[in-house]
Structure 1
Amino acid sequence: MVDSPARFQGQARLPRFAAPLRYDLRLRPDLAACTFSGAAAIAVAVSAPTRFLVLNAAELDGLVPTEVTQFEEDEILVLGFDRELKYVYNGESRNMAVTQFESADARRCFPCWDDPAVKAKFKLTLEVPSDLLALSNMPVVKETVNGPIKTVDYEESPLMSTYLVAIVVGLFDYIESSTSEGTKVRVYTQIGKTNQGKFALDVAMKSLDLYKDYFATPYPLPKLDMIAIPDFATGAMENYGLVTYRDTALLYDELLSSASSKQQVSYLAVDSLFPEWNNWTQFLDEMTSGLRLDALAESHPIEVEVNHASEIDAIFDSISYDKGASVIRMLQSYLGAEPFQKALASYIKKYAYSNAKTEDLWAVLEEESGEPIKDLMTTWTKQQGYPVIYAKINGHYLEVEQKTDKMHIREFTASRSYNGEKNMWIKLNIHQTGFYRVISLSTEWHLILAGIVEDSYALSVARMQTLTSLLRLLNAYHDESDYTVLSHVTSVCLSISKISVDATPDLNKDFNQLLIKLLLPAAMKLGWDPKDGESHLDVMLRSLLLIALVRLGHNETINEGVRRFYIFFEDRKTSLLQPDTRKAAYLAVMRTVSTSNRSSYDALLKIYRGTAEPEEKSRVLGSLSSSPDKDIVRNQDAYYILGGISIEGRGVAWTWLKFTSDEKAAEVSEFFADRIKPSFERTLRQSLESVRISARWIESIKSEASLGQVVQELLQGEA
């Protein structure tokens, strides 16, 4: 057993007695047959005597070495002797080849130490059809054409992890520029779409300069390629030197794309390049997403031990991304922007081309700032959940208490305004930089504007405050015009409308009228048409409000949307329906569709089939399920259609997602009982917990005896 391959079975990580120094990869994709063949030669450093090399490999078929043992469940390949291998992979039929190796899929292309901690250099050679473009992480050294096949050799890469290796083969065109440092930057698109890459190229050029200054580190590679991939499952993948994007995340058309798409394309550097967009105020979206997921018992800490590659995808969620970013932002706010920036620059220089743990980041920040960062931050990354701060006014004093979640809140922020006792207000967690909730215990709770509407919504869902209190708070926003505030008010309004269908069906129309009354003033001010000199945020707010009013059933907005839709249907160049308002019009026109009148549905399908623009296709698909006629909503498994399902069509969606009761949660749990896989087990548990939370919230709402009376008072302006 000691000298047997079996001793490696079941190991969570590969043994450390050998590590790669360099991979020489030769790959030949066959786009017609959807296969590839290849060879891998690996230079290995051995630190202890061994008769075996243990690598990661999965779903690879090829020539068998002299001695080989493969443990498929562990995705481990044990080789007795080093030998060139040849593999064939049966994939989907595509007219281009694209790799996506994050998080642990390089092993499906070539045997390797598929662990981000095990870095090596890579020297790639591709054999591809002569008429196709072949891209990889590094620049091309040489191309040799031999009839229908050409051989492309690339420069050797610097040290990097296997998941960052990237290959793209297909027909593409590009635009390019060079930075002041001489780095060549290109945006690759499908043939004929290079104009849509100009904005991304401009942002990339400015971003490289921005990051060079911010991190005090120049861009380390000789080139940066960004490429738009149709139907790319991942939004984007930051491969070394070759960043792959879903086309909607990279391309921007001045005539066809929305303002939100422009912001999405540039989000990596948006705050510095477009300060007028006030992107830091919009960061609240990320924090809200993190808080909502972290409220679940089935949440997880930011730092999670991973024992198998299949577990990685389960933690690629709002905790890792949104809570992680929020905690870092909280730390930046505490240290100050400049000290934080300098410390990050030191950290990057110290650990370049090596590995680091979270404690290493805390150590550098602590050394640079003189603050006890490790003690302060460890609880935030190693514990799940967040603190809830209880606040109340006691005479002339503000009392605050943290009862649960033993996390260090080093500095508590508050703002106070005083103009006579009756007009006093106190705002806790100013700028919303703290990752915690605030709840008021004061009987005169209106004296403390505790956080924002998101806090009150979360506390209502948790049954720590009533829906009645939430509605009264929302009513205070009826004169609001700020995009960031209204984006969250609108989100909460739509959530209330949906939950009221099950909790208070008799009041649902009254709820919707109340929410319409709240949002209508800002929507009427903006109208449907763009105005000279309006801000980027006004453009996005217009779309947000019109969509919400349509979903809430505001007849005037629906009728105007239908009118503009049919003008646009006859004349696609009309100025009456801009890209930012099309989604609202599409939703509006679908509300007129029924089994006896499908003309609008057919018109939308015609628009879908007649456009090559992915953003336009997405708008249409996201609107098709919003008909109030349940017979129009068909059983489909596309997430974007389910995401757009109207209140009336939700019953049809149970084939995939009908989550409003404990009984349905039990049904789902039973269905998945013998189908659980590590990659989605945590996500399933989180979903089921959300179902049960919604069910309890519904029961809590039903018990609010004065809810109907308060809704009527607010509608009549008496509350």
Structure 2
Amino acid sequence: MATPSAWNKVSPPRPRLSGASFHREGTDLKASPGAPAPAGGSAAQFRGQARLPRFATPRRYELRLRPDLVACTFTGSVAIAVVVSAPTRFLVLNAADLSVNRASIRFQSLAPTEVVFFKDDDVLVFGFSKQLPLGEGVLQMDYNGTLNDQMRGFYRSKYQYKGKERNMAVTQFESVDARRCFPCWDEPAFKAKFKLTVEVPSDLVALSNMPVANSTFAGPIKTVSFRESPLMSTYLLAVVVGLFDYVEGMTSKGTRVRVYTQIGKSNQGKFALDVAVKSLDLYKDYFDTAYPLPKLDMIAIPDFSAGAMENYGLVTYREVALLFDDKSSSESSKQNIAITVAHELAHQWFGNLVTMEWWTHLWLNEGFATWMSHLAVDSFFPQWNIWTQFLDGTTTALKLDALSESHPIEVEIHHASEVDQIFDAISYEKGASVIRMLQSYLGAERFQKALASYMKKFAYSNAKTEDLWAVLEKETGEPVKDLMTTWTKQKGYPVINAKIKGNDMEIEQAQFLSDGSSGPGTWIVPITSGCGYDTQKKFLLKLKRDKMVIPSQCSDRKKGGNFWTKLNINGTGFYRVKYDDELAAALLNALEAKKLSLMDRIGVVDDSHALSMARQQTMASLLRLLYAYRGETDYSVLSHVNSVTVSVARISVDATPSLAGDIKQLLIKILLPTAEKLGWDPKKGESHLDAMLRPLLLTALVQLGHGKTINEGIRRFNIFLRDRNTPLLPPDTRKTAYLSVMQNVSSSNRSGYDALRKVYRESAEGEERLNVLGILPSCRDKGIVLESLNFIFTDEVRNQDAYILLRGVQIEAREIAWNWLKENWERISKIFSTSSLLGDFVKTVVPLFTSNEKAAEISKFFATRTKPGFERTLKQSLENIRIGARWIEGIRSEPKLAQTVRELLGKP
């Protein structure tokens, strides 16, 4: 290990480049991709740069880094092979939070006469006294920076080794943070090769995208050189330095795969390793393209802002997203790990080998990786019914995309500061859902062959959405571009209004919005319908309205009332359906007769919930539909039913306070039979899905105030405190017990709260600590809620996990949380300076409210505090408040709601 004195040789930080030169005189031209290179003028013409100009492009980076893990600084030098393709005397690239040594800057033998940094745009401009020679030259410079604590760029993460806290150095460059590690052309289209060398303490492990080429030692320091990478984008470069164990496997083609962990945790990487090896083999066959690199490493990072990051050949993860322990991890954690690993490894093809041209096309990366991860996990674990669970994501996307403040899948990104906002359910889950819709329309085999052709055509380069459509059209002969453009270039989706007229079904599309209005959008909609799963009919709805003939086996409605028909079979289409009264009644009968598939049982309840929120359907009819699920036993279906019950229970508190208790009792009546059948204790040989269903239902009952479940949870928790290995509280049901304990906590009775804090401090398992963290504020006592929220500011809570605490705030404590957020906003903004983390605070607290007055208050507070990175999140959260307020108005005006609730409860 390097001694502190060894690091004193690092030169002190130089002053940062001043932004004062922003206002130098000169024309205010904005160079754009493809624009002529400016031969004259001053560096000021590049102020306000949205995209880097293309008159000079990188071919190869030779990068040398020396992190100081004690002082948390680093020095670096970079030599960039740059091709100058048009007359210019400028080089324009990205940098942020770096101190560049001006005396070291050279392009060939030329020193710049101007060095200007535009801080607002992270643009660094070098102006030279004469035009640069055309062709390839080398730009080189020395610089230094800070290993920050913001989990972006080149940063530090803390971990424990032999009872002492240590730092590791980690990179997180997506989307636009490579510029915080080295000056570069930090846009996806500027692909280049990378030759990396790092100087680190001799006892540490250094990892990067490529295997180690050689290592040399000089006392306490070793120099590690990595093999040169293939062409790739800057955001995919990765470096990790620290102490690690690993487990290792091999693919069928001999690619070495490793999972790196903290010392002593390597066994927890075995499950992810198995999934990774299988994923690489599956994707190689699916894309008919070999994995491009000689090795794949995956590593668990203690401090990590995202869930995982697909860096080429060195994938980084949160610990809970990679590590699985048979004794302490839940079944849901196991499934999440499998999905996450499969997602990141799909990126090695869709994203890394073929990369989006610009962030507007982010969905090409994330939508396909999300869809592919389900394809892979379904292959490895068919018993998990993962495609049915895929609808969880579809529902999330449908909810977000029903807001006027949503955005298209292909959203125009004009500035780097806007990128973080689109890492959301539109890019991921809606992207994946429209891919599933397209595959269903084209057929699985044709779709796969076309994707393989796309992969080969654009390997090691960049692609736009239109490039994918062109290949799919060529390979299948179908009008893919016309169809899919309606889904990717406009926000929102349609609701299909269906009604019976004779033996025809008339259908009409209108853009669905949760505020009850109808947007202007029109789509080409792949419609599927049928009155059974052997009588499906498919056609493209290209017009605003059309009609379809009901199959003969569905059309005779005069023979005993068995008629029913369903649109959007198995939820393959990204749209909702609203049926007329006759069709809705028939579908309810089919549901109660158990004639609908799992996916269609999900679709019916999700659509009904959304229509009720938009006041296109009554709360009474929604409750009658929910009651039809009282005998349901499937995890995926009950997961959606539970989400609806949570929403109904919450809104009833504000809409009908006098009826809220009865509504909760009704919801308990719906969920309780299956919960009692499963019980608290795992059954020998039970399925993975039943193991996940148990905590889902028990937790729901606790949230609804079911006394018997709460008391049992407390009883088991007390036994757990005496014996942490008791079989009475296995990992799957601990969260339910923790929540049960918090129901009786108050400032005068805090023993349960203190016990939970003790569990948090003593546990070494990330999943358990997160479970406790998300439960701590789950009570109504102001003092306990504030104490829990202030826990965020202690060293015991990692910044990445802070928003988990906020998720535990109950609706009864929302004012406490909002006042806390206002009072601490400046502090929060300073600690959690990255936009995505600030957005988590906003979208967790703000949508708890349901009044227009509160929306106005919140809007006023943020009027001078909004940043570009969470501006869209704030607008969406405020819109959700207003939607809730409007829904309440509708519920209060229902004349038969109370009667319906009493009837379903069996009350006179």
Q: TM-score, normalising length from structure 1? A: 0.97
- AA matched with 2:858: V
Contact 2:407 2:490 in 1 (8 A): yes
Give the match for residue 640 of structure 1: 804
Q: Deviations over 1:454-500 (max 9, x none)?
A: 11111111111111111111011111111111100001001111111
What's the secondary structure of 2:121's corresponding residue? Answer: coil
Q: Please give the alpha-carbon distance, in whole angstroms, between the structure 2 residues aligned to 1:630 and 1:394.
A: 58
Q: Deviations over 1:644-697 (max 9, x none)?
A: 223433332223325221111111111121222221111111111111111111
What's the secondary structure of 1:425's corresponding residue? Answer: coil
Shift of 1:90: 5.3
Contact 1:138 1:157 in 2 (8 A): yes
- AA matched with 1:632: I
Shift of 1:96: 0.7
Give the match for residue 815 of structure 2: 651
Give the match for residue 484 of structure 1: 636
What's the secondary structure of 1:253's corresponding residue? Answer: coil
Mapping for residues 142-153 of structure 1, pairs under 5 Å: 142-153=214-225
Mapping for residues 211-360 of structure 1, pairs under 5 Å: 211-267=283-339, 268=342, 269-360=376-467
Shift of 1:199: 0.4
Mapping for residues 48-447 of structure 1, pairs under 5 Å: 48-64=86-102, 65=105, 66=112, 67-80=114-127, 82-89=139-146, 91-92=148-149, 94=158, 95-267=167-339, 268=342, 269-404=376-511, 405-416=521-532, 420-443=559-582, 445-447=584-586
Contact 1:25 1:41 in 2 (8 A): yes
Contact 1:172 1:191 in 2 (8 A): yes
What's the secondary structure of 1:452's corresponding residue? Answer: helix
Contact 2:301 2:317 in 1 (8 A): yes
Q: Please give the alpha-carbon distance, in whole angstroms, between the structure 1 residues aligned to 2:288 and 2:670.
A: 48
> Which of 494, 502, 507 is residue 654 of structure 2 equivalent to?
502
Contact 1:119 1:159 in 2 (8 A): yes
Q: Please give the alpha-carbon distance, in whole angstroms, between the structure 2 residues aligned to 1:537 and 1:628.
A: 33
Shift of 1:560: 0.9
Q: Please give the alpha-carbon distance, in whole angstroms, between the structure 2 residues aligned to 1:212 and 1:91.
A: 37
Which one is further off, 395-404 or 278-287? 395-404
Q: Please give the alpha-carbon distance, in whole angstroms, between the structure 2 residues aligned to 1:702 and 1:625.
A: 30
Contact 2:529 2:565 in 1 (8 A): no
Q: Which runs of 5+ in 2 are unaligned?
A: 1-25, 27-39, 106-111, 129-138, 150-155, 159-166, 343-375, 512-520, 533-552, 589-599, 793-801, 822-844
Contact 1:487 1:544 in 2 (8 A): yes
Q: Deviations over 1:6-52 (max 9, x none)?
A: 12221211111110000000001111111111001000111112211
Contact 1:499 1:698 in 2 (8 A): yes
Contact 2:565 2:583 in 1 (8 A): no
Which one is further off, 413-422 or 558-567? 413-422
Mapping for residues 678-693 of structure 1, pairs under 5 Å: 678-693=868-883
- AA matched with 2:522: K
Q: Please give the alpha-carbon distance, in whole angstroms, between the structure 2 residues aligned to 1:36 and 1:136.
A: 17
Q: Decide whether aligned partners of structure 1 residues 140 and 426 sit closer, same or farther in structure 2, where only a CA change above 3 A counts.
A: same
Mapping for residues 443-462 of structure 1, pairs under 5 Å: 443=582, 445-449=584-588, 451-462=603-614
What's the secondary structure of 2:120's corresponding residue? Answer: coil
Q: Please give the alpha-carbon distance, in whole angstroms, between the structure 1 residues aligned to 2:643 and 2:526.
A: 31
Determine if the alignment matches structure 1 residue 702 to structure 2 residue 892.
Answer: yes
Contact 1:630 1:648 in 2 (8 A): no
Shift of 1:574: 1.0
Q: TM-score, normalising length from structure 2? A: 0.77
Which one is further off, 397-406 or 463-472? 397-406
Q: Deviations over 1:276-326 (max 9, x none)?
A: 101001011010011000000000100011111001111111111111110
Contact 1:271 1:280 in 2 (8 A): yes
Q: Please give the alpha-carbon distance, in whole angstroms, between the structure 2 residues aligned to 1:61 and 1:150.
A: 25
Q: Please give the alpha-carbon distance, in whole angstroms, between the structure 2 residues aligned to 1:331 and 1:412.
A: 13
Q: Deviations over 1:309-364 (max 9, x none)?
A: 00111111111111111000100111111111111111111100111111111111
Give the match for residue 569 of structure 1: 721
Contact 1:629 1:648 in 2 (8 A): no
- AA matched with 1:678: P
How many residue pairs align between the two structures? 718
Q: Please give the alpha-carbon distance, in whole angstroms, between the structure 1 residues aligned to 2:244 and 2:71.
A: 20
- AA matched with 1:558: I
Contact 1:334 1:411 in 2 (8 A): no
What's the secondary structure of 1:12's corresponding residue? Answer: coil
Contact 1:393 1:442 in 2 (8 A): no
Q: Please give the alpha-carbon distance, in whole angstroms, between the structure 1 residues aligned to 2:44 and 2:814.
A: 52
Determine if the alignment matches structure 1 residue 597 to structure 2 residue 749.
Answer: yes
Contact 2:528 2:569 in 1 (8 A): no
Q: Deviations over 1:39-71 (max 9, x none)?
A: 010001111122111101112113114431111
Off by >6 Å, runs of 4+ in structure 1: none
Shift of 1:275: 0.6
Shift of 1:591: 0.9
Q: Please give the alpha-carbon distance, in whole angstroms, between the structure 2 residues aligned to 1:641 and 1:77.
A: 39
Which one is further off, 591-600 or 441-450? 441-450
Determine if the alignment matches structure 1 residue 493 to structure 2 residue 645.
Answer: yes
Q: Please give the alpha-carbon distance, in whole angstroms, between the structure 1 residues aligned to 2:808 and 2:740.
A: 12
Q: Please give the alpha-carbon distance, in whole angstroms, between the structure 1 residues aligned to 2:618 and 2:79.
A: 65
Root-mean-square deviation (CA, aligned residues, Å) is 1.6
Q: Please give the alpha-carbon distance, in whole angstroms, between the structure 1 residues aligned to 2:781 and 2:230.
A: 58
Determine if the alignment matches structure 1 residue 548 to structure 2 residue 715.
Answer: no
Q: Deviations over 1:496-535 (max 9, x none)?
A: 1111111111111111100000000111111111112211
Shift of 1:395: 4.1
Contact 1:61 1:89 in 2 (8 A): no
Contact 2:527 2:567 in 1 (8 A): no
What's the secondary structure of 1:531's corresponding residue? Answer: coil
Shift of 1:397: 3.3
What's the secondary structure of 1:96's corresponding residue? Answer: strand
Contact 1:35 1:89 in 2 (8 A): yes
What's the secondary structure of 1:86's corresponding residue? Answer: strand
- AA matched with 2:178: A
Q: Please give the alpha-carbon distance, in whole angstroms, between the structure 1 residues aligned to 2:715 and 2:605.
A: 34
> Which of 83, 97, 105 is residue 45 of structure 1 equivalent to?
83
Which one is further off, 108-117 or 399-408? 399-408
Contact 2:147 2:169 in 1 (8 A): no
Q: Please give the alpha-carbon distance, in whole angstroms, between the structure 2 residues aligned to 1:670 and 1:283.
A: 38
What's the secondary structure of 2:879's corresponding residue? Answer: helix
What's the secondary structure of 2:682's corresponding residue? Answer: coil
Which one is further off, 435-444 or 269-278? 435-444
Contact 1:19 1:118 in 2 (8 A): yes
What's the secondary structure of 1:529's corresponding residue? Answer: coil
What's the secondary structure of 1:125's corresponding residue? Answer: strand
What's the secondary structure of 1:507's corresponding residue? Answer: helix
- AA matched with 2:584: W
Contact 2:328 2:731 in 1 (8 A): yes
Q: Which runs of 5+ in 1 are unaligned?
A: none
Contact 1:391 1:442 in 2 (8 A): no
What's the secondary structure of 1:48's corresponding residue? Answer: coil
- AA matched with 1:36: F
Shift of 1:80: 3.0
